[in-house]
Amino acid sequence: MSTRIETRFAAVKAEGRAALVTFVMGGDPGYESSLEILKALPEAGADLIELGMPFSDPMADGPPIQAAGLRALKAGQTLKKTLGLVAEFRKTDKDTPLVLMGYYNPIYIYGVDAFLKDANAAGVDGLIVVDLPPEEDAELCLPAIKAGLNFIRLATPTTDDKRLPAVLENTSGFVYYVSVTGITGAATPDFNAVSQAVARIKRHTTLPVAVGFGVKTADHARAVAEGADGVVVGSALVETVRLSLDKEARATEKTVSSVTKLVRELAAGVRSGRPVAAE
């Protein structure tokens, strides 16, 4: 049986376009406003959603996502509450794939078995855990696969052909290609180099390849969509949340609408990025 992630990528491919993957931080700027944002994303044009698990030491993230995580933690967000967001989302949306993204420490503290059981019950489709390399697959990756969750791995510009098979070995759902070396949202990718890198990864796998880090505008999304199966946008969205908040970092009437406006623009960019017939 196909997973929600596989089904969605197949549907998008049949439309002859790339998927828009949107990242938002769970619990940012507060639980209720975070849920409102989450529920609004699919209608605005998000094909898949990555939901951040807030963590106090997010080493791969740039200032916007770090700040989003800290806002969420300050507002009382926990991993249990993040799973609660997923469960609430699933009450009205049974189809949009939802992936939890973050670091191993909160999962380790929660307890791997308990976490996988609760994630499954909530309706999580996959995990991206950025600080667990393939050498640590027994920690979480293999148990997650056994529990029926996709485990999505990151490949980077420094992942050479020798390293790639190890990265891909237990990866499922899609491959997340990090288009720049460094932290999230820090630089604009070289779109020509990205296209070449995606082609190289595809020589090693039949999985869809989604590209993220540094994609901020509809034009960026359009450029990436020409060579990738998916375009991931995160920092630009959490920065849009930040700019909509009041002086106490609380949501305002602009918060949800400013996020959905940007998602609509990005979706239009992705949908214009590859005017080709489906294979």
Query: What is the pLDDT at residue 183?
Result: 56
Tell me which residue of 173, 131, 177 sits closest to 158, measured CA to CA: 177
The answer as to whether 7 is a domain residue is no
Beta-strand ranges (E) seen in 103-254 are 126-129, 150-151, 154-155, 175-178, 209-212, 230-233
CATH number of the domain within which 42 lies:
3.20.20.70
pLDDT at position 279: 35
pLDDT of residue 146: 96
Residue 3, in any domain of the structure: no
Flag whether the pTM goes above 0.85.
yes
Which of 50, 125, 229, 239 is the catalytic position?
50
Positive/negative CA dihedral, 205, 161, 145, 228: negative
pLDDT of the residue at 61: 83
The residues that bridge with 20 in the sheet, in sequence order, are 231
Task: Judge whether residue 275 has pLDDT over 70.
Answer: no
Distance CA 215, CA 34 (A): 22
211-268: per-residue pLDDT in tens? 998 888 999 899 999 989 999 999 999 999 999 999 999 999 999 999 999 999 999 9
Give residue 229's identity as a one-letter amino acid code.
D
Question: Is 50 part of the annotated catalytic residue set?
Answer: yes
Q: How many helices (H) and strands (E) does the chain have?
A: 12, 9
259 is a domain residue: yes
170: which 2 tokens? 């237990």
Catalytic residue among 6, 61, 125, 239: 61
Q: Which amino acid is at 226?
A: E
pLDDT digits (tens, 9 = 90+) for 182-201: 655 556 677 788 889 999 99
Q: Domain range spanning residue 219?
A: 18-271
Residue 36 known to be catalytic: no
Q: In this structure, is residue 13 part of a structural domain?
A: no
pLDDT in tens, 4-45: 999 999 999 999 999 999 999 999 999 999 999 999 999 999
Residue 55 resides in a domain: yes
In the chain, the number of structural domains is 1
The predicted pLDDT at position 222 comes to 93
Confidence of residue 277 (pLDDT cuts 50, 70, 90): very low
